[in-house]
Structures are given as structure tokens and as C-alpha cells.
Amino acid sequence: MERLAVHLIPVLRDNYIFLLVDHQERKAVVVDPAQAQPVLEQVESLGVELTAIWNTHHCWDHVGGNQALKERYPQLKIYASQADGERKRIPGQTEYLKHGDTFSFAGEEVQVFFVPGHTLGHIAYWLPQSSHLFAGDTLFGAGCGRLHEGTPAQMQASLNQLRSLPDETLVWCAHEYTLSNLRFALTVDPNNPDLKERLKEVEVLRAQGKPSVPLRLGEEKRTNPFLRYDQPALQKTTGAFDPVNVFAKVRSLKDRW
């Protein structure tokens, strides 16, 4: 058995909570607990100790379980960005992260990326050794988060950082939006054969009730219109050339779709 395992816990309508388990130390951390109860059930059934929460950002469907988990495990460390810490909007936050910070879990290095755009305090967690990326609401399957607080330039720069990671990166995003996003993607990138193929595959997966997450970053690079801001097909659709302008137009088309 691998030392590190990632468990996906579906909650609410389309959210995913991720529980990372260190099988050697019998410890676990949870990414973006929208709710506490499903996390407690999973932790107890695995017989592990919950030691930390890693929050990507402050939205209620990512931090909703923080307080109740802290009550159950008073020693819990709660990681989130320095930027959200300054805004005091992460319940129970104890650790304040900046871009480039590193720490460890399950014998692996965890690297922090500051990825504002969806919100101004959003971070992502990357484990280069096992290729896991916890992207929150920044990158979705064939999509990206809405710009609730940031600008198109901020979000495009954030996505550009994530796009620079290796193709084999497994992207754990916080919502199951992939199928609907693929249908939109075909309206802006209609002649992309990889996109047509992926839509068929995800239709089958979802019809079987299976998640489309984790995503594979290489496939996102080929099919996600929000990562294809420098591709001729997207430049043609948007009538723009500069990556930020291409991105901004695709985002506004999606917002009105």
C-alpha cells in the first residue's frame, strides 16, 4: 500500500471534500471540509487521527465544517492563506501561508501556490512527489472558478502557474462541474478532437455515478478552454490575441452561457 491515500467525500449538491491519509503514521488531514459529519464518519471508520485542515479559501462550502471539527479535535491545525487570515474569514485558522511556503505531510513536501482570482485569498496545495494538486475553486474539469473577487488578469496568472505543473499532475478540484463545463467548452473550441472524446468519456462516467475527479492536468491542458488562452482556436472564437483578453472573453461567455 502507498503511504499516502486520497479519499474523496461527496457532499452537498456537487462539492468534494478530500481526506488525505498517512497510512504509516495513521494520521489524516482534510481539504476544505464543507461539513464536519461526513469527515468524522470517514476518519472514524478508517481509525486514523485527524491532525489538520487545509483550506483553499473562505467560501462557506469550503470552511463550513471547520468549527465542528476543531471542537472534536482541539489540537487541529487549520491552514489557510495569510491573505484570508488578514481578512479574518477562515474559522479557527492557526497557520498563515504565503506563496512558496512548504511544509510536510506523510513524509512528502507540500508546496503552497497563491492563486487569487476566484477570491483574493485563494491558495492551492501541491505535493510534487505524489503529483497531487488540491486546487479548490481555481481550476475545474474543463473550467475554472468564477471571478468573485479577483480580476481576469489575476485569474489568468494563477491558472498559468498551475498550467506549468507536469502533465501527470492529479488535480483534485472542489466541485463536480466537468460535464456541464465540457458542453460549454465545445461552444468555444468546437473543432478540438480531444474535447469531443473527453465529453463522451465523462458522459459515461457520470451516467455510472462516478466522479470525474481527480483530473489529469495534461488532459486539462488539451481540453480546458480556460487553460488554452494562447491557442489559435480560442483566439479565433474571442477575436482577442493577448492571453488575458482571451481568458477574460471566455470567462464572460461562460458567465452568460
- Dist. CA 248–CA 146, nearest whole Å: 11
Stretch that binds Zn ion, among 20-28, 51-59, 179-187, 228-236 (CB under 5 A): 51-59
Report in angstroms how near the CB of residue 82 gets to Zn ion at its nearest.
18
**DSSP secondary-structure letter at 69?**
H
Report in angstroms how near the CB of residue 118 gets to Zn ion at its nearest.
6
Beta strands 77-81 and 95-97, pairing class: parallel
- Dist. CA 245–CA 257, nearest whole Å: 18
Report in angstroms how near the CB of residue 62 gets to Zn ion at its nearest.
6
Peptide bond into 214 cis (omega under 30): yes
Q: Is 21 in the site for Zn ion (CB under 5 A)?
A: no
Pattern of binders to Zn ion over 133-162, x per CB under 5 A?
----x-------------------------
Report in angstroms how near the CB of residue 32 gets to Zn ion at its nearest.
9
Stretch that binds Zn ion, among 88-96, 129-137, 162-170, 243-251 (CB under 5 A): 129-137
Report in angstroms how near the CB of residue 57 gets to Zn ion at its nearest.
6
The shares of helix, strand and coil residues in the chain, as percent rounded to the nearest 5, are 35, 25, 35
DSSP string, 97-150: E-TT-EEEETTEEEEEEE--SSSTT-EEEEETTTTEEEEETSEETTEE---SSS
- Dist. CA 244–CA 241, nearest whole Å: 9
Among 4, 9, 34, 59, binds Zn ion (CB under 5 A): 59
Report in angstroms how near the CB of residue 22 gets to Zn ion at its nearest.
27
- If you compute the radius of gyration of the chain from its CA atoms, what whole number of angstroms results? 18
Total residues in contact with Zn ion, by rule CB under 5 A: 2
Q: Is 195 in the site for Zn ion (CB under 5 A)?
A: no
When the beta carbons of 137 and 176 are compared against Zn ion, the nearer one is: 137
Stretch that binds Zn ion, among 18-26, 56-64, 191-199, 231-239 (CB under 5 A): 56-64
Between the CA of residue 211 and those of 65, 139, 175, 224, what are the distances in Å?
Answer: 22, 16, 10, 17
Number of Cα atoms under 13 Å in the Cβ half of residue 163: 20
Report in angstroms how near the CB of residue 183 gets to Zn ion at its nearest.
22
- Dist. CA 123–CA 220, nearest whole Å: 19
Q: Is 32 in the site for Zn ion (CB under 5 A)?
A: no
When the beta carbons of 95 and 137 are compared against Zn ion, the nearer one is: 137
- Dist. CA 233–CA 217, nearest whole Å: 20
When the beta carbons of 115 and 182 are compared against Zn ion, the nearer one is: 115
- Rule CB under 5 A: which residues touch Zn ion? 59, 137
